[in-house]
Amino acid sequence: MKTLRHSDLVSQMYIAGYYFPFSLEANVNGNMYIARYAECYCHELAHTHGYIYENEANFLAFVAGIESDDAMLQYSAILGVIGYLENDCYETFGEELYNREDYVFWGEKVANLDISFLPPGKMEEIEQNAVISTEVVDKVSDTITDTSLKVNGVSSGIVSYSEVVELLLEYYEGKLY
């Protein structure tokens, strides 16, 4: 596992890691908040062991971390799935219920710490030195990733990352493992 050479550009794509299938090499974004590294390593290593689907790699990274006795690995595992859980809650409950003051989602506490991806201030620093705006880089990256996944047989494309929530539900219902 090594750090991506162009971590600033990869940060603009909101990518934590990347698996190069042709060289069987897993890489991580060197700009990430330190608490995200363990989950990212586990995700990328899952790819090196033949788990190519993104939802499966996300799930295996979560299980590896959450089943560990190490609190930092558990925390990293939670950070890896929290955004997907929050997005599904938002889609399920709708904006009105999701934004109610009495609605409590434990992820909100994590999200407020601003450590879900990059350390505070890092994105601003990257954007100051960027040749192309983050908005453009992210949009192009999403389009390429979505197309690549679909061409390779993942019909849901980029949405497949968030399909980890379904696997988590099955896991906690006792249907997986």
Checking if the pLDDT of 47 tops 70, the result is: yes
In a domain, 155, yes or no: yes
In a domain, 177, yes or no: no
In a domain, 126, yes or no: yes
Q: What is the pLDDT of residue 133?
A: 95
Token pair for residue 79?
């950070």
pLDDT, mean of residues 116-131 = 90
**Count of domains forming the chain:** 1
Please write the tens of the pLDDT for every residue from 94-117. 877 777 666 555 545 444 544 568
Q: Comparing C-alpha atoms, which of 166, 173, 171, 157 is closest to residue 88? A: 166
Pairing of strands 25-28, 17-20: antiparallel
Element (H, E) at 25: strand 25-28
In a domain, 112, yes or no: yes
CA distance 158 to 132: 22
Q: What is the pLDDT of residue 114?
A: 47
Please give the model's pTM, rounded to 2 decimal places. 0.86
Checking if the pLDDT of 84 tops 80, the result is: yes
30 three-state secondary structure: coil
In a domain, 19, yes or no: yes
Q: Write down the mean pLDDT value for the chain.
A: 88
Q: What is the pLDDT of residue 32?
A: 93
In a domain, 14, yes or no: yes
In a domain, 123, yes or no: yes
118 three-state secondary structure: coil
47 contact partners, CB below 8 Å, separation of at least 6: 19, 21, 26, 57
Checking if the pLDDT of 177 tops 70, the result is: no
Q: Which domain holds residue 45?
A: 2-172
Q: Comparing C-alpha atoms, which of 54, 70, 71 is closest to residue 165? A: 54
In a domain, 77, yes or no: yes
CA distance 88 to 138: 21
pLDDT, mean of residues 5-29 = 91
